[in-house]
């Protein structure tokens, strides 16, 4: 990599900043984006299943221009538990801006079971006559009065019933101290040329999606938690055909880059899988999160109060796509005001 080459905007800063000073006083950086023929990741000895461990590369050597070799520690972390992440997206238009949001919610198997059981309880409380596993929480239908009237399930629910239900669902996420919540969003100025707008929309969504997954993989694998990622299947297939192929290509191709080894702390991360909406309770909960994040951003951008402020959902790692080539990350209870353009 030439020193002037720009790093992709989605890399966590600590990785993008990796460098060392050689004895000759030159600053040396490992090349994060040169293609390696042999993929990174753990190597399981022949005839074993990996339960007895694997070979994990500990360091990488980089040759300085003065021919000295500098060794960089890759900081691999031994995997402990699988960690299940569910993702969903929501989009809004506000004036000249398009607002895109993507939320991820997850946990290890215990907290996932707890959150699922609590959601079932809340669904039963909202619609006591129905089997809660037979209907799906869908914010666009639940929150819109006209849509509710058209629905044979939701027609008798009032605005207040729905509001209470949503706040209780948010509390499920907030009170589970082992829940992991991260969300990416961006305000993108719309192009007057629809074709150009389509291209920039695609690029923005790809960068945001990669930023969210990269940050989450980095945070979780640092603790030995190995993400398994499940995304909503219908939306990519119907409206966003790029995402499905794109997730796979990126994740399978990326093992050949040092950036991936740093991101995953030396672990293998499977490509995201696509689920039918509502096929898991966590998909329903993350639908609520993404919907309200988009709504909150729209309202605050228009200087109005959101009905359900994001602090009802508890702390979240907010990743803002500030520009096409720059992201800003902050863990907070509420979306920081500086992330919302005036």
Binding site for Zn ion (CB under 5 A): 22, 24, 26, 64, 66, 68
Closest approach, Cβ 34 to Zn ion, in A, equals 19
C-alpha angle 295-204-182 in degrees, rounded to nearest 5: 55
- Residue 21, strand partner residues: 27
Residue 66 or 93: which CB sits closer to Zn ion? 66
Q: How far is the CB of 64 from Zn ion (least distance, A)?
A: 3
Q: Closest approach of Cβ 66 to Zn ion, in Å?
A: 3
Pick the closer one to Zn ion by CB: 24 or 43.
Answer: 24
Q: Which is nearer to Zn ion, 62 or 271 (CB)?
A: 62
In angstroms, what is the minimal distance from the CB of 194 to Zn ion? Answer: 52
- Residue 3 C-beta: closest distance to Zn ion, Å: 14
Query: Alpha-carbon distance 143 to 290, whole Å?
Result: 14
Return the number of the residue (69 or 325) whose C-beta is nearest Zn ion. Answer: 69
69-73 and 59-63 as β-strands: parallel, antiparallel, unpaired? antiparallel
Nearer to Zn ion, 22 or 233 (CB): 22
Instruction: Output 27 or 332, the one with its CB closest to Zn ion.
Output: 27
> Least distance in Å: CB of 61 to Zn ion?
13
Query: Rounded CA gap, 112 and 115, in Å?
Result: 5
Supply the minimum distance, in Å, between the C-beta of residue 65 and Zn ion: 6
* Minimum CB distance to Zn ion, residue 252 (Å): 35
Residue among 16 and 62 whose Cβ is closer to Zn ion: 62
Q: How far is the CB of 29 from Zn ion (least distance, A)?
A: 12
Which of 73, 82, 106 lies closest to 265, judged by CA?
73
C-beta of 66 vs 222, nearer to Zn ion? 66
Which residue number, 26 or 159, has a Cβ lying nearer to Zn ion? 26
What is the largest distance, in Å, between two alpha-carbon atoms of the chain? Answer: 76
């Amino acid at each position: 990599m030439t020193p002037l080459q720009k790093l992709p905007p989605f890399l966590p800063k600590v990785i993008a900043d990796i460098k060392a000073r050689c004895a000759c006083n030159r600053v040396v950086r490992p090349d994060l984006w040169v293609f390696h023929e042999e993929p990174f990741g753990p190597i399981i000895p022949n005839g074993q299943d990996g339960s007895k461990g694997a070979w994990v590369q500990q360091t990488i050597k980089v040759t300085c221009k003065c021919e000295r070799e500098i060794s960089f520690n890759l900081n691999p972390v031994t995997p402990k538990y699988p960690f299940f992440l569910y993702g969903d997206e929501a989009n809004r238009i506000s004036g000249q801006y398009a607002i895109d949001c993507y939320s991820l919610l997850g946990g290890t198997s215990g907290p996932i079971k707890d959150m699922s059981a609590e959601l079932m309880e809340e669904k039963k409380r909202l619609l006591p006559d129905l089997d809660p596993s037979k209907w799906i929480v869908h914010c666009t239908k639940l929150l819109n009065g006209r849509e509710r009237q058209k629905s044979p399930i939701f027609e008798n629910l009032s605005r207040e019933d729905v509001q209470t239900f949503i706040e209780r669902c948010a509390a499920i996420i907030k009170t589970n101290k082992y829940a992991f919540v991260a969300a990416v969003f961006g305000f993108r100025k719309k192009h007057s040329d629809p074709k150009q707008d389509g291209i920039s929309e695609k690029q923005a969504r790809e960068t945001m999606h990669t930023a969210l997954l990269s940050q989450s993989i980095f945070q979780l694998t640092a603790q030995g938690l190995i993400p398994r990622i499940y995304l909503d299947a219908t939306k990519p297939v119907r409206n966003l055909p790029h995402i499905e192929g794109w997730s796979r290509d990126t994740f399978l191709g990326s093992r050949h880059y040092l950036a991936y080894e740093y991101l995953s702390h030396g672990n293998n991360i499977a490509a995201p899988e696509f689920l039918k909406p509502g096929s898991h309770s966590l998909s329903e909960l993350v639908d609520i999160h993404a919907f309200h994040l988009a709504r909150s951003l729209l309202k605050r951008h228009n200087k109005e109060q959101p009905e359900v402020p994001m602090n009802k959902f508890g702390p979240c790692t907010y990743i803002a796509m500030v520009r096409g080539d720059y992201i800003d990350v902050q863990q907070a209870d509420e979306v920081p005001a500086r992330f919302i353009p005036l």
